[in-house]
Structure 1
Amino acid sequence: MATQIIGNLAVEIDGDGDAIVCVHGLGGTSNSWTPLMPAMQGHRIVRIDLPGSGRSANPPGELSIATMVDAVLRVCDQLGIDKAQFCGHSMGTIVCQHIAVQHPERVSGLALFGPLVCPPEAARPNILARAEKAAGGLAAMQEIADAIVGAAISKETRAQQPAAVALVRESVMRQSPEGYAQSCRALGNAQAADIDAISVPTLLVTGDQDGVAPAQAVQAMGQRIRNSRVVVLDGCGHWTAFEKPAECNAELEKFLSA
């Protein structure tokens, strides 16, 4: 494993072979993908901390999905990656969809966990309000983390997997309050990509208790994306890789080998 700082972004690079570029979601980091590393062996795995997330610096201006897309592609350019499989989680799936639509020549496949085309209108005010709450600093980030644990992971995970609960909570609490607030604003204002234009093989994985990416909405995405397959995991919320690592590894390995 090697960590590089590329354009103020922390990037972890593992292995050799065809590239897989991993894009985490809101409150995530490169460690969001650690549970799925076994399925990606035999590839050059590139895990990026998005601007303002994890160990990456806060962006100098306002953050948006478009600036995230640009940041990911700049990392790819710096590493000499012309084409890759892209893996995304949550907000990162929106970034990956925009890359696939705007730069189809750079994408050989999409594996999207907890996917959404954009937040529903009813959810946007709450996401933007979370950005304002994050301005309260570390104490506010703890409150946000506890709320996410209560709402975004399954009841089975909360009851049976204390380590997964701790990982989700720690991932959110370790975010910079300002960086997290900017990411919330970026997600709250995100617009959908034209996913009907996506034709590369696509894996869509969600949980039966995922309120951010409900199974019905993900099935609708699958109907619009040609050459896609939808998987709904039982007893799983929104943090699929942490909650169901064995199942996610099996689905991702099957997808990559195909």
Structure 2
Amino acid sequence: MSFQLIDRIAVEEEGDGPAVVCVHGLGGSSNSFTPLMPALARHRVVRVDLPGSGRSQRAEGELSIERYAEALLRVCDRLGIARAHWVGHSMGTIVCQHIAAAHPKLAASMALFGPLIAPPEAACTAMKARAAKAREGAAGMHEITQGLLQAAISADTRRRLPLAVAFVRESLMRQDGEAYARSCEALAGAQGAAVDRIEAPVLLVTGDEDGVAPPQSVRAMADRLHNAASKRVVVLSRCGHWTPVERPEECQRELSDFLAAHSRS
């Protein structure tokens, strides 16, 4: 595995084969995709910490979905990636959609976990309130984390998989409060991509207890992908919003089968 900073953006790269670019969600980092790495064997995997997150927390200025997309396009350009399979989680799925809609030749396929086109108005209001809480510092981030452990992870995961809970807790608690607040504001300001323009095959994976990307919303999202080469919706049982962490084996299987079907694209 290699590590480098590209315009102050932390980038990890490993493996050989067709390129896969992984885009994490709010409160995540490149580590959000560690549970999926077995499914990405025989691929060139690029994992990025978005500006304001993980090891890219020192990024200055306002954050936005557009800025995230521009950062990823720069990374691809710097690494000589002209076509890639895109794997996203949560907020990262919005970024992937914008790239696939605006740059169809760059997107060989999209595998989206906990996907949404854009947050609804109520969620945007909640994001702005969360940003204010995050700016209170460590105490604010602790309160946010405790709330999300109840709301974003299924009851079954909390009961049976303490390591998954610890992973999510640490991912959130490691975020800098101010940077996380700006990330919340980026998500609150997110506008949906022109998803009807997406031509790549799309895999949509959610949990039956995912309050951010509930199954009915994900199915409605699939209905809007009119021009996608193919589309598949998978709903995982007793699973919340952190699908790759809560149900790694199922997610690995779905992703592996999806990439095998489209690796020659």
Whether TM-score is above 0.5 comes out as yes
Give the distance between the partners of 1:33 and 1:221, measured in 2 at CA: 23
Residue of structure 1 in register with 2:162 after alignment:
162
Does 1:25 find its partner at 2:12? no
Offset, 1:8: 0.4
Give the distance between the partners of 1:235 and 1:207, measured in 2 at CA: 7
Offset, 1:156: 0.2
Does 1:188 find its partner at 2:195? no
Offset, 1:222: 1.1
Does 1:15 find its partner at 2:18? no
Give the distance between the partners of 1:194 and 1:124, measured in 2 at CA: 20
Do the aligned residues in 1 keep the contact of 2:207 with 2:239 (CA within 8 Å)? yes
Range that drifts further, 213-222 or 56-65: 56-65
Residue of structure 1 in register with 2:248 after alignment:
245
Offset, 1:236: 0.3
Residue of structure 2 in register with 1:56 after alignment:
56
Give the distance between the partners of 2:179 and 2:41, measured in 1 at CA: 31
Q: Aligned pair count?
A: 258
Does 1:175 find its partner at 2:175? yes
Percent of pairs with identical residues: 60
Range that drifts further, 191-200 or 16-25: 191-200
Residues 177-209 of structure 1, C-alpha deviations (whole Å, 9 max, x = no match): 111011000001100011111121100000000
Give the distance between the partners of 1:136 and 1:2, measured in 2 at CA: 35
Give the distance between the partners of 2:72 and 2:22, measured in 1 at CA: 9
Residue of structure 1 in register with 2:37 after alignment:
37
Give the distance between the partners of 2:60 and 2:14, measured in 1 at CA: 29
Secondary structure of residue in 1 paired with 2:53: coil
Do the aligned residues in 1 keep the contact of 2:57 with 2:176 (CA within 8 Å)? no
Secondary structure of residue in 1 paired with 2:54: coil
Offset, 1:59: 2.6
Offset, 1:77: 0.7
Secondary structure of residue in 2 paired with 1:237: coil
Does 1:114 find its partner at 2:147? no
Offset, 1:165: 0.4
Ranges in structure 1 where 5+ consecutive residues have no aligned partner: none
Offset, 1:247: 0.1
Give the distance between the partners of 2:95 and 2:17, measured in 1 at CA: 23
Offset, 1:123: 1.2
Residue of structure 1 in register with 2:148 after alignment:
148
Query: Which aligned segments of 4 or more residues in structure 1 are displaced greater than 6 angstroms?
Result: none
Give the distance between the partners of 1:208 and 1:60, measured in 2 at CA: 37
Range that drifts further, 1-10 or 204-213: 1-10
Which residue, out of 231, 236, 241, partners 2:234? Answer: 231
Secondary structure of residue in 2 paired with 1:131: helix
Secondary structure of residue in 2 paired with 1:204: strand
User: TM-score, normalised to structure 2's length?
Assistant: 0.96
- Report the AA paired with residue 102 of structure 2: Q
Secondary structure of residue in 2 paired with 1:13: strand
Give the distance between the partners of 1:58 and 1:94, measured in 2 at CA: 22
RMSD, aligned CA: 0.7
Secondary structure of residue in 1 paired with 2:56: coil
Do the aligned residues in 2 keep the contact of 1:8 with 1:57 (CA within 8 Å)? no
Give the distance between the partners of 2:41 and 2:177, measured in 1 at CA: 34
Give the distance between the partners of 1:146 and 1:12, measured in 2 at CA: 29
Secondary structure of residue in 2 paired with 1:55: helix
Offset, 1:58: 2.9
Residue of structure 1 in register with 2:217 after alignment:
217
Give the distance between the partners of 1:7 and 1:187, measured in 2 at CA: 22
Offset, 1:57: 3.6
Give the distance between the partners of 1:252 and 1:178, measured in 2 at CA: 34
User: TM-score, normalised to structure 1's length?
Assistant: 0.99
Give the distance between the partners of 1:236 and 1:122, measured in 2 at CA: 23
Do the aligned residues in 2 keep the contact of 1:58 with 1:178 (CA within 8 Å)? no
